[in-house]
Structure 1
Amino acid sequence: MDRWLLISNCNTYGLARSLQLQGNSFHLDCIDVWHFKKNMQDYENEIPTYDRVIINPEVRLTSYDFRSLKNVNEIPNVEFDAYHPDFCFVGVDGVRLYKPLAACHSMIVLAAFQAGRSPEKTRKLFRREIYEQCGFFTRWELARDRLISSFSVMGMDLSNAFRRWARGECFMHGLGHPKARPIFDIARIFLKNHVAQTNVTDLVPSDTIVDGACLPVYPEIGETIGVRGSYAFKLPGEYKLISLERFIEMSFEVYQAYNPSEILVEPGFRSRFDRVKQVISEAEA
């Protein structure tokens, strides 16, 4: 029996279980990228002994040279922001801020903080008019096409699967955190490309990502794209929901430890954040 190794990100264990459920022709070991980075020397000699190594693209950023391996495949990140267009990643001195909601921060909240608004006035900015001016209602097609394209270059066609995911409910917990069904379907598509026979089953493994932070789809955005919306934020590491008001307060508590100009949005979000900042600076609240 072939031996496979999976090295991925937050989706590692959900993806590994989905692969195992749907394939009988291999034994699969898995490690997440953070454990791999800390213990790379322990795996350095063992990795070449696997018949297939499956990695997330960010694993290539480690010092291990995967180019020397004969049978390496990539399964990309599931990145889709149309449900959560207000969110971004930020840092200070190149280090991400992981509070209050893991790595996810509201552009509106950060822009309001940097503009000197109070939490109370910031809350009033969460309304349809602001979302429309910020471009939050126009993300769907762009996010869909980018997601499908990122898998297409790896030989994986998500078109039909995406149509199923998009019917009736949000299929993402956050910007790069899919729910269990998309992970399961991606495993199925991968296996159909690489093994002769797969198991036909609808037993979807438990959703491991829900243990972390989960972002709400704002009601106005949900109404536009046909899913249920709310302003209930799930905290990481505990099964507890907080309100939008509390999320704003907690975000301000984090930001107040820094000079506002020190808090920088990561490059991939900066052009959109600049638009949000302009909208917030001109908005009445």
Structure 2
Amino acid sequence: MFSQIDKQILKSWRQYAVEPRLAKLTGRTLRNTGPRIAVLGNCQAFGLAYAMKVMDPSATVDHFSAIGRSRVANMDMLVATLATYDYVFTHDFLEGHLRGGGDSEELIRRLPKTVKTPAVTFAAFHPDLIYIQDKSEPLHGFIFGPLGPYHSAIGLFGYRAGLTLDETRAAFNENVFQALGYLDLWNEAATGFIENAKLYGFDLSTDLMNWARRGVFMYSIVHPKSFVLFDIAKRMWEKAGLKPPARDFGYYEIHDLARSEIFPVYPAVARVFGAQGGYLFKLQNHHISHTVGDFLNLPQYLGSSWKTFEKTGQEHLANPRVDAWLDDEKTKTYVMKLARENQKAGLKPTL
């Protein structure tokens, strides 16, 4: 069975080698007569590719996934495929996605026209979101819970520290967030984002300021809203020597990443940014034509998370941040104290 990138490569060759010949035989006029553009990368790559198609509807714009493993495609096949495009953009990707190895650096060496672009990572809105790495699976080997790979640091701390579910739920209050530094991460997140973009040759400082004026612009620490990806797509075009047209992207935008899991912006965190927050956790739903999907409130999310933790086993629940809290007796004792005091005071949020 073909993987996603295998199918995308086959589709690309059909478009490139077969469809023009069929059009010539049948007299059909090809719709896409502009440049061929390829966007390779993570979950943000589709949004970038879609934005480029909006910017030039005459272009052939194809998205190639660097998520998961190919069953057929190797680096030779990928390079040969991408060589048929006028412009190629890629996120960083590690060895293991393609058969026989090969990463984004090798792709750039073998196909110098490739432009590397930064992925968006921004934690200020979701300071509690963590991943739990499965050490037996180094490539995207995350432990999945009720919200896929997204876990709560406080939830994991409560489980490992021996708090009850109610006590852990009571830790989701402003005094605990303050103690853990959740309410003042903006400067660190903004500086890290801007400096990382500079490593790729992009100055996104003005864009970040504009996004911030629109409120919360992330669904999670790695899933930006579509207007963010549109602005980055424009910068990618400029770097490649293309001129982005004036376009009302908001009229055509697709919130592709909203189909995936959405981590809430906690109320005390949201107030820092003048936004409305809550504890509503959205489950992934990539079949919106069939079902509206489902959500979990805080007690449901924590209860389901703890079932995952119990099934996984303590020895597999390592996370650097939570490990540090547990190893620091002062932090551990203080957070547990606050959680228990909140619980006795009836401060157990739900939504």
TM-score, structure 1 as length reference: 0.90
Cα deviation for residue 251 of structure 1 reads 0.3
Cα deviation for residue 86 of structure 1 reads 0.7
Q: Are the structure 2 counterparts of residues 260 and 59 from structure 1 closer, same or farther at C-alpha, using a change threshold of 3 Å?
A: closer
Q: Distance in 2 between matches of 1:168 and 1:22?
A: 22
* Aligned 8 A contact 1:84 1:215 in 2: yes
Alignment of 1:25-174 (within 5 A): 26-34=59-67, 37-41=70-74, 42-58=77-93, 62=97, 63-64=101-102, 65-66=106-107, 67-94=109-136, 95-174=141-220
Cα deviation for residue 59 of structure 1 reads 5.2
Q: Which residue of 2 aligns with 1:183?
A: 229
Q: Which residue of 2 aligns with 1:225?
A: 273
* Aligned 8 A contact 1:169 1:228 in 2: no
* Aligned 8 A contact 1:233 1:243 in 2: yes
Q: Distance in 1 between matches of 2:325 and 2:155?
A: 14
Q: Which residue of 2 aligns with 1:211?
A: 259
Q: Which residue of 1 aligns with 2:304?
A: 250
Q: Distance in 1 between matches of 2:327 and 2:173?
A: 15
Q: Are the structure 2 counterparts of residues 253 and 271 from structure 1 closer, same or farther at C-alpha, using a change threshold of 3 Å?
A: closer
Q: Are the structure 2 counterparts of residues 203 and 258 from structure 1 closer, same or farther at C-alpha, using a change threshold of 3 Å?
A: closer
Unaligned runs of 5+ in 2: 1-33, 286-291, 341-351
Q: Distance in 2 between matches of 1:164 and 1:190?
A: 18
Cα deviation for residue 147 of structure 1 reads 0.8
Tell me the C-alpha RMSD between the 2 structures. Answer: 2.2
Q: Distance in 1 between matches of 2:314 and 2:170?
A: 21
Cα deviation for residue 88 of structure 1 reads 0.7
* Aligned 8 A contact 2:129 2:221 in 1: yes
Bigger shift: 166-175 or 52-61? 52-61
Number of aligned residues: 281
Q: Of 178, 197, 213, which aligns to 2:243?
A: 197
* Aligned 8 A contact 2:183 2:268 in 1: no
Code of the residue aligned with 2:265 in structure 1: it is: V
Code of the residue aligned with 2:42 in structure 1: it is: N
Bigger shift: 36-45 or 115-124? 36-45
Unaligned runs of 5+ in 1: none
Cα deviation for residue 161 of structure 1 reads 1.2
* Aligned 8 A contact 2:38 2:49 in 1: no
Q: Which residue of 2 aligns with 1:234?
A: 282
Report the secondary structure of 2:36's partner residue.
strand
Cα deviation for residue 261 of structure 1 reads 3.1
Q: Distance in 1 between matches of 2:235 and 2:81?
A: 27
Greater C-alpha Rg: 2
* Aligned 8 A contact 1:107 1:276 in 2: no
Code of the residue aligned with 1:171 in structure 2: it is: F
Cα deviation for residue 230 of structure 1 reads 0.7
Cα deviation for residue 74 of structure 1 reads 1.2
Report the secondary structure of 2:88's partner residue.
strand
Q: Are the structure 2 counterparts of residues 106 and 25 from structure 1 closer, same or farther at C-alpha, using a change threshold of 3 Å?
A: same
Q: Distance in 2 between matches of 1:262 and 1:60?
A: 24
How far does the alpha carbon of each residue in 1:103-149 deviate from its partner, in whole angstroms, 9 at most, with x for none? 11101000110112221111011111111111112211111111111
Bigger shift: 57-66 or 203-212? 57-66
Report the secondary structure of 2:172's partner residue.
coil
Report the secondary structure of 1:43's partner residue.
helix
Report the secondary structure of 2:262's partner residue.
coil
Code of the residue aligned with 1:135 in structure 2: it is: G
Cα deviation for residue 199 of structure 1 reads 1.7
Code of the residue aligned with 2:236 in structure 1: it is: F
Q: Distance in 2 between matches of 1:3 and 1:135?
A: 46
